[in-house]
């Protein structure tokens, strides 16, 4: 009896405990619900607030309203521009406003755009020491130029001494026309014990010493040539005796370099440096013009999404497929969007194709008279293969971005493009366009093709290529962009980092001044106007990558992306573009100081 009473009492106590716990859970859930409602109300209220910014002047890059004094945005979207605060308020009646007066002494422009960058390449290269023909000011470090062989060898020897205890030394920036030819034998003298890799200034070629070849089990020539054969490397793109991996031979070389280049801690540091460079130079949008250089598409897309696709992102990136043997299965694009795209990471139906070799390595294909030393440029994609790839992707609905540098390469590309059925809204953009003739530019205009140009060619190479390779006339007409402006060809200017810094105002300065490293003016008639230079880093840069419906100009309905300048580009003129200080950016309505 007592046992039964004891059980009954325990049941009563347990029941009360259960009721109490249920009560606590119910109260907790109620409070959580109230909190969620409150937070959503606060977010909704914040999203309903229209922020009005006053600036000294706002350069919109919108032909319909080139200037304004006030700009209004709600959340990440511009809702209006006007010349007075009252005019803005009148647009929205009884709306709630927030007033931001931090920029009354500054100039606002659309957030700057670099339409051709490789985030993975940038993240890798920003962990490598530079020895290049020009100065480089990068986040946390400055590398002074080495413009002679003696200067290069001296810096390389110093680097070998400082890093003698490392497993592998990689340095970037060598150019034989500044620094003389260097091959495996010469590297062995400089570094007999340390594995060393020299990355050529173009990025398209590396040179290894014997220790580096041994590290990757390539000391034996038979093994070396078997690797080249396995990867379908074009004949003449590799040389075991000299330790050279060029153009198509670079692909297998990157394969065994991945563990060193893509170490997580290095990539994290590299992406952080890249994003700091972008911030300091006012860049809010970039396009990765070939996702899958160092690894497969999925691996790179995942890493880029991790770096750019988070809530505190200060810029956005567009991924891009690299052409393979033909278009992918129809589900490919949607599958990749589902896996990798979000608010800050985009993937559109665009593909990157390749024609001829690197301009910085004099591997571009040139029409007669060719190169003055008799060497011949290289094809990244043989002309017959390219002639099949272009219509295959086009007919499948892809927008085309075609890497092309020399005038022979351009003839091959244009001949294929002229055969396409252009009766749709697809677009074609030529990437780099190092050297073209006036007649070729006319063909580009007639075909309604856009150009994303690399202006740093004339800056770094204009003098040197006049002495070696192209002669004075052709070297002076590298980057024939003034002709494209006269023909109303849409033009973007890109860095293709590390072919140039991720610094659009500097690129605009180069294209509108055409001065070499030595200060020599080259073909002044090929300078682009100040207006065109600014369009080429804003609205036309957006156009060449198909994003001009959302960025590139300050208009109602577009993203609230702005760069905050201390001086007006139209007041300082083309000569002063590279001296304009950038205070910060506004990315989707959030201000981020450049420091």
Q: Percentage of the chain with pLDDT > 70?
A: 92
- Helix ranges (H only) for 140-232 are 149-162, 176-179, 184-190, 210-215, 221-230
Residues 185-212: b if buried by 16+ CB within 10 A, e if exposed: ebbbebbeebbbbbbbbbbbbbbbbbbb
369 prior amide bond cis, ω within 30 = yes
Most confident among 83-97, 163-177, 465-479 (mean pLDDT): 465-479
169 three-class SS: strand
Average pLDDT (136-152) is 96
pLDDT at 93: 87
Bridge partners (DSSP) of residue 259 are none
The owner of tokens 């002309």 is 383
Average pLDDT (206-220) is 95
Backbone angles phi, psi at 296, to 5 degrees: -75, 165
* pLDDT for residue 3 is more than 70: no
Domains and CATH numbers, the chain: 119-261 (3.10.310.70), 264-593 (3.20.20.140)
* pLDDT for residue 561 is more than 50: yes
Average pLDDT (380-391) is 97
Average pLDDT (250-279) is 93
pLDDT at 39: 39
Average pLDDT (173-199) is 96
Report the C-alpha dihedral over residues 95, 344, 347, 495, rounded to 10 degrees: 110
3-state helix, strand, coil in the chain (%, to 5): 40, 20, 35
Of 554, 577, 575, 409, the closest CA to residue 110 belongs to: 554
pLDDT at 43: 37
pLDDT at 42: 39
Kindly report which listed range (71-75, 85-89, 171-175, 364-368) carries the lowest average pLDDT score: 85-89
* pLDDT for residue 167 is more than 60: yes
Of 412, 406, 415, 427, the closest CA to residue 547 belongs to: 427
* pLDDT for residue 36 is more than 80: no
pLDDT at 447: 97
Return the ∠ at Cα 437 (arms to 434 and 442), rounded to 5°. Answer: 110
CB 265 within 8 A of CB 296: no
CB 35 within 8 A of CB 28: no
CA distance 362 to 229: 24
Alpha carbon separation from 422 to 212, 323, 348 (Å, rounded) = 49, 20, 19
pLDDT-based confidence at 5, cuts 50/70/90? very low
Measured in residues, the chain has a length of 595
Tell me the two tokens of residue 583.
């205070």
Average pLDDT (10-28) is 61
pLDDT-based confidence at 40, cuts 50/70/90? very low
Return the ∠ at Cα 432 (arms to 236 and 379), rounded to 5°. Answer: 20
């Amino acid at each position: 009896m007592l046992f039964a009473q004891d059980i009954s009492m325990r049941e009563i106590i347990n029941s009360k405990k259960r009721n109490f716990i249920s009560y606590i859970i119910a109260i907790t859930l109620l409070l959580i619900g109230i909190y969620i409602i409150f937070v959503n109300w606060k977010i909704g209220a914040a999203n309903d607030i229209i922020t009005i910014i006053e600036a000294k002047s706002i350069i919109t890059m919108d032909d319909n309203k080139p200037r304004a004094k006030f700009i209004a945005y709600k959340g990440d979207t511009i809702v209006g521009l006007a010349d007075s605060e009252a005019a803005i308020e009148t647009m929205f009646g009884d709306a709630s406003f927030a007033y931001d007066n931090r920029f009354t002494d500054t100039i606002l422009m659309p957030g700057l755009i670099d339409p051709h960058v490789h985030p993975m390449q940038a993240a890798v290269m920003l962990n490598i020491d530079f020895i290049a023909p020009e100065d480089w000011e990068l986040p946390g470090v400055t590398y002074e130029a080495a413009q002679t062989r003696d200067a290069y060898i001296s810096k390389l020897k110093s680097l070998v001494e400082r890093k003698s205890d490392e497993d592998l030394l990689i340095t970037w920036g060598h150019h034989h026309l500044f620094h003389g030819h260097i091959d495996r034998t010469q590297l062995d003298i400089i570094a007999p014990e340390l594995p060393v890799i020299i990355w050529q200034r173009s990025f398209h070629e590396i040179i290894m010493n014997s220790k580096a070849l041994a590290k990757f089990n390539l000391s034996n020539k038979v093994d070396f040539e078997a690797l080249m054969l396995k990867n379908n490397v074009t004949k003449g793109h590799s040389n075991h005796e000299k330790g050279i991996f060029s153009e198509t031979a670079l692909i297998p070389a990157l394969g065994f370099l991945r563990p060193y280049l893509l170490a997580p801690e290095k990539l994290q540091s590299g992406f952080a440096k890249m994003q700091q460079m972008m911030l300091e130079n006012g860049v809010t949008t970039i396009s990765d013009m070939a996702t899958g250089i160092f690894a497969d598409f999925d691996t790179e897309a995942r890493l880029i999404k991790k770096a750019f696709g988070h809530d505190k992102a200060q810029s956005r990136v567009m991924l891009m497929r690299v052409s393979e043997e033909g278009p992918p299965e129809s589900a490919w694009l949607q599958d990749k969007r589902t896996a990798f795209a979000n608010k800050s990471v985009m993937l559109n139906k665009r593909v990157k194709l390749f024609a001829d070799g690197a301009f910085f390595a004099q591997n571009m294909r040139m029409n007669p008279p060719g190169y003055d030393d008799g060497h011949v440029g290289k094809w990244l994609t043989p002309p017959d293969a390219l002639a099949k790839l272009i219509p295959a992707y086009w007919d499948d609905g892809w927008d085309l971005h075609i890497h092309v540098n020399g005038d022979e390469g351009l003839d091959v590309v244009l001949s294929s493009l002229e055969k396409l059925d252009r009766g749709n809204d697809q677009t074609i953009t030529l990437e780099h366009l190092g050297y073209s003739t006036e007649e070729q530019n006319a063909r580009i205009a007639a075909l309604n093709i856009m150009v994303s140009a690399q202006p740093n060619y004339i800056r770094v190479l204009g003098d040197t290529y006049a002495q070696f390779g192209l002669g004075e006339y052709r070297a002076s007409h590298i980057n024939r962009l003034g002709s494209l402006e006269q023909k109303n060809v849409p033009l973007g200017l890109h860095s293709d980092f590390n072919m140039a810094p991720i610094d659009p105002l500097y690129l605009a300065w180069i294209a509108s001044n055409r001065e070499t490293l030595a200060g020599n003016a080259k073909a002044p008639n090929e300078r682009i106007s100040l207006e065109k230079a600014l369009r080429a880093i804003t609205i036309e840069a957006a156009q060449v990558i198909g994003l001009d419906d959302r960025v590139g100009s300050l208009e109602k309905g577009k993203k609230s992306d702005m760069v905050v300048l201390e001086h007006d580009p139209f007041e300082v003129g083309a000569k002063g573009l590279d001296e304009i200080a950038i205070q910060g950016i506004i990315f989707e309505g959030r201000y981020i100081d450049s420091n």
